[in-house]
């Protein structure tokens, strides 16, 4: 009896070997992995707040004395340093001491985020401004050789001056893989605008970043001709750049050509500097001199002029893109959409999207490259047959051009559209012939076969669409089709409880769901889920109460 009782006690979690307990802690701290969707924690949206770093290491260190000792002696648990509030500075100091144990200082790499505010939003003792930024840099710069990811957001020219000072003098960062620099300023005055856009950029990290793979520059430019580390990239994001601080095409060309493994490219009101015949250094190449990015899988374009976007995209060969995100409001982007759908058939097009020969317009001239393109001029820009995900946040174009785009993406699995910001409604797009919805009887009598658009679609996420249009589209796709969709669908609809009563059809669809019958009479359910498409960015919960003062509990039982 005594032997069995002892065995049961010894089988408890407290009997686990330290090595196994350590492994559990490490795996648990990685459960909420911040970089699962993107290497960049910040987004080019003013009110966006990045998610808090995982807090499990602090929680387990408060369970009991044994667990605390194990956690404190596991340096890899304390390598994430996020600075958003004044209390985070002291917390980071403790984290640094824990992940810099004797003999391990060069082993455990640091992931750093610094999120400061503008002077008018500064609350002393709470958030971070220039004095706190100086303190943070003084704490982390001695460890610059251990930086793995560095994300910096500044909203003020004084903070920018601090960042320029430290990043230009901190020396090499041989372990840095991800660099994100974000400068958002409410300029307000011409002087602020001048300081933010006309001050020459500085060389950072002594131009020594041998492991750099992911670069995001939001409102920040670099000395493009003196930044040799802009190559061999896997993820590139350029955002919020006025034309005068954008990279000249020659350096844009070099950066992309020397990054053959580039996987994602995001252009948000940015890209190469506009071409002009008056300055030979700004001349763009002919349309047939394409930059080959065969590894590119994701392309995102936001807030670019139609002509400019067509000119940039025409000079890319990106046949393996499987995810495309479009946020293009306020102007007519029909030429761009037609460019995507017609490029394979018509070859190169001019800046209006019309077919043309391979010569550029008169303001563009050939430019020499160290690695000339070998792509035939009539190659498609991207293969729409490979596209699996299409996100349309905003797009002004003709309904017919959007229908042509969807028809060309028959392998699409995921489609997200905000129809409040897209030309053409849901029914107009998916029923293809507005006003004509054949009945089941007419189908049987005429032999008409309705082929549903996007037969492989698995997830449809829509906003800005009344319930009647959603029901009509579901009815057309499923009940009136001789060839119903090949896979079961999930529809995620913009709706929440505060809208109940404003759209009876939408309320009923949310409450009852949707069922259809296949041609063989089998009942099939379309999964209906909802999301609040009107909610603003959620505020990040304050975890300071749990994590800020844990180091005062060294003797906690």
Q: With cut-offs at 50, 70 and 90, classify the pLDDT of residue 270.
A: very high
* CA nearest to 395, candidates 304, 321, 492: 304
% helix, strand, coil for the chain, step of 5: 35, 15, 50
Averaged pLDDT, 363-381: 46
Residue 253's pLDDT is 95
Range list of H helices, 274-365? 306-314, 334-346
Q: How many domains does the chain have?
A: 1
- Residue 529 near residue 493, CB atoms below 8 Å: yes
Task: Return phi, psi of residue 151, to 5°.
Answer: -120, 125
Does a structural domain hold residue 492?
A: yes
User: Best-predicted range by mean pLDDT among 12-21, 341-350, 391-400, 471-480?
Assistant: 391-400
Q: What is the mean pLDDT of the chain?
A: 79
Asked whether residue 107 carries a pLDDT value surpassing 70, the answer given is: yes
**Domain, as residue range, for 523:** 413-422+436-531
pLDDT digits (tens, 9 = 90+) for 152-184: 999 888 899 999 999 999 999 999 999 999 998
- Which ranges in 211-361 belong to alpha helices (H)? 249-257, 306-314, 334-346
φ and ψ at residue 519, rounded to 5 degrees: -60, -25
CA distances (Å), origin 169, targets 162, 163, 181, 206, 516: 11, 10, 16, 7, 65
Residue 390 pLDDT exceeds 90: yes
For residue 351, pLDDT over 70 is answered with no
CA dihedral 71, 77, 81, 87 (to 10 degrees): -20
Range list of β-strands (E), 270-322: 291-292, 298-302, 316-317
Of residues 534 and 285, more confidence is placed in 285
The full length of the chain comes to 557
Q: Which residues pair with 328 in a beta bridge?
A: 395
Assess whether pLDDT exceeds 80 at residue 512. Answer: yes
Among residues of the chain, what percentage have pLDDT more than 90? 42
279-304 confidence digits (pLDDT tens): 877 889 888 889 999 999 999 999 99
Reported confidence tier of residue 192, pLDDT bands at 50, 70, 90: low
Please report the sign of the dihedral spanned by the C-alpha atoms of residue 98, residue 103, residue 105, residue 109.
negative
What is the rounded distance in angstroms from the CA atom of residue 261 to the CA atom of residue 212?
13
481 inside domain = yes
CA atoms of 491 and 201, how far apart (whole Å): 47
Asked if residue 428 belongs to a domain, the reply is no
State yes or no: pLDDT of 271 exceeds 70: yes
Higher pLDDT, 29 or 333: 333
In a domain, 351, yes or no: no
Assess whether pLDDT exceeds 50 at residue 345. Answer: no
- For residue 29, what are the contacts with CB-CB under 8 A and spacing of at least 6? 54, 56, 57, 77
What is the mean pLDDT of the segment spanning 305-311?
94
> What gap in Å lies between CA 260 and CA 272, rounded to an integer?
18
Q: What pLDDT, in 10s, does the model give residues 449-491?
A: 456 788 889 999 999 889 999 998 888 887 766 666 666 789 9
In a domain, 398, yes or no: no
pLDDT in the model for residue 379 = 61
| 127-145: pLDDT as tens digits | 999 999 999 999 999 999 9
Average pLDDT, stretch 491-518?
87
Count of beta carbons in the 10 Å neighbourhood of residue 315? 25
Banded pLDDT at 352 (limits 50, 70, 90): very low
Q: Quick one: average pLDDT of 10-20?
A: 69
In a domain, 522, yes or no: yes
- Compute CA distances 234 → 178, 179, 256, 330, 479, whole Å: 10, 12, 10, 31, 44
pLDDT of residue 364: 27
What spatial distance separates the first Cα and last Cα of the chain, rounded to whole Å? Answer: 31
**HEC string for 158-216:** HHHHHHHHHHHHCCCCCCCCEEEEEECCCCCCHHHHHHHHHCCCCCCHHHCCCCCCEEE
DSSP H or E run through 132: helix 130-140
Q: Using an 8 Å Cβ cutoff, are 381 and 318 in contact?
A: yes
CA dist 127 → 114, 498, 551 (Å): 11, 34, 21
pLDDT range class, residue 196, cuts 50, 70, 90: low
Q: Is residue 104 part of a domain?
A: no
The pLDDT score that the predictor gives to residue 164 is: 94
Whole-number pLDDT of residue 198? 64
Answer yes or no: are the C-beta atoms of 271 and 291 closer than 8 Å: no
* Model confidence at 32: pLDDT above 90: no
Q: Is residue 125 assigned to a domain?
A: no
Phi, psi (degrees; rounded to nearest 5) at 245: -115, 5
Show Cβ contacts of residue 201 under 8 Å, excluding neighbours closer than 6 positions: 220, 221, 222, 223, 245
pLDDT at 193 over 70: no
Q: What's the sign of the alpha-carbon dihedral 82, 85, 89, 91?
A: negative
């Amino acid at each position: 009896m005594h032997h069995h009782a002892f065995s049961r006690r010894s089988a408890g979690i407290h009997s686990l070997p330290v090595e196994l307990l350590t492994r559990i802690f490490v795996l648990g701290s990685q459960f909420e992995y911040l970089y699962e969707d993107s290497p960049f924690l910040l987004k080019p949206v003013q009110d966006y707040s990045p998610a808090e770093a995982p807090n499990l290491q602090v929680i387990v260190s408060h369970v009991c004395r044994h667990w605390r000792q194990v956690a404190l002696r596991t340096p890899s648990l304390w390598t994430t340093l996020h600075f958003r509030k004044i209390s985070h500075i002291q917390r980071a100091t403790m984290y640094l001491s824990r992940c810099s144990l004797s003999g391990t200082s060069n082993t455990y790499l640091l992931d750093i985020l610094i999120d400061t505010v503008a002077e008018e939003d500064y609350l002393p003792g709470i958030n971070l401004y220039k004095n706190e930024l100086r303190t943070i840099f003084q704490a982390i710069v001695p460890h610059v050789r251990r930086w793995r990811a560095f994300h910096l957001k500044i909203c003020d020219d004084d903070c920018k001056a601090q960042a320029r000072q430290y990043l230009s003098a901190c020396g090499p960062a041989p372990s840095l893989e991800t660099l994100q620099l974000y400068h958002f300023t409410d300029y307000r005055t011409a002087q602020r605008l001048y300081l933010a856009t006309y001050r020459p950029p500085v060389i950072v990290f002594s131009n020594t970043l041998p492991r750099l793979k992911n670069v995001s520059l939001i409102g920040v430019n670099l000395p493009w001709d003196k930044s040799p580390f802009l190559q061999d990239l896997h993820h590139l994001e350029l955002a919020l750049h006025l034309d005068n601080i954008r990279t000249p095409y020659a350096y844009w060309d070099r950066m992309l050509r020397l990054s053959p493994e580039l996987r994602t490219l995001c252009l948000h009101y940015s890209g190469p500097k506009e071409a002009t015949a008056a300055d030979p250094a700004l001349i763009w190449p002919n349309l047939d001199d394409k930059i080959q990015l065969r590894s590119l899988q994701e392309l995102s374009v936001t807030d670019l002029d139609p002509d400019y976007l067509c000119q940039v995209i025409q000079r890319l060969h990106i046949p393996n893109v499987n995810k495309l995100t479009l946020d293009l409001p306020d102007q007519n982007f029909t030429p761009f959409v037609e460019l995507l759908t017609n490029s394979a058939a018509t070859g190169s097009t001019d800046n209006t999207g019309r077919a043309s020969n391979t010569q550029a317009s008169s303001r563009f001239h050939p430019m020499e490259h160290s690695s000339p393109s070998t792509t035939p001029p009539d190659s498609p820009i991207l293969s729409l047959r490979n596209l699996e995900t299409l996100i349309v946040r905003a797009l002004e174009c003709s309904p017919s051009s959007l229908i042509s785009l969807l028809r060309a993406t028959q392998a699409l699995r995921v489609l997200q559209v905000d129809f409040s910001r897209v030309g053409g409604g849901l029914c107009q797009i998916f029923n293809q012939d507005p006003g004509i919805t054949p009945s089941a009887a007419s189908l049987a009598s005429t032999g008409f076969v309705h082929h549903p658009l996007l037969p492989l679609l698995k997830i449809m996420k829509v906003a800005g669409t009344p319930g009647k249009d959603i029901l009509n589209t579901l009815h057309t796709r499923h009940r009136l089709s001789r060839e119903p969709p090949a896979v079961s669908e999930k529809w995620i609809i913009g709706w929440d409880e505060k809208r109940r009563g404003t759209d009876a059809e939408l309320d009923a669809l949310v409450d009852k769901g949707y069922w259809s019958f296949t041609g063989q009479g089998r009942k099939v359910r379309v999964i209906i889920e909802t999301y609040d498409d009107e909610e603003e960015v959620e505020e990040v919960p304050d975890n300071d109460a749990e994590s800020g003062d844990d180091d005062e509990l060294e003797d906690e039982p």
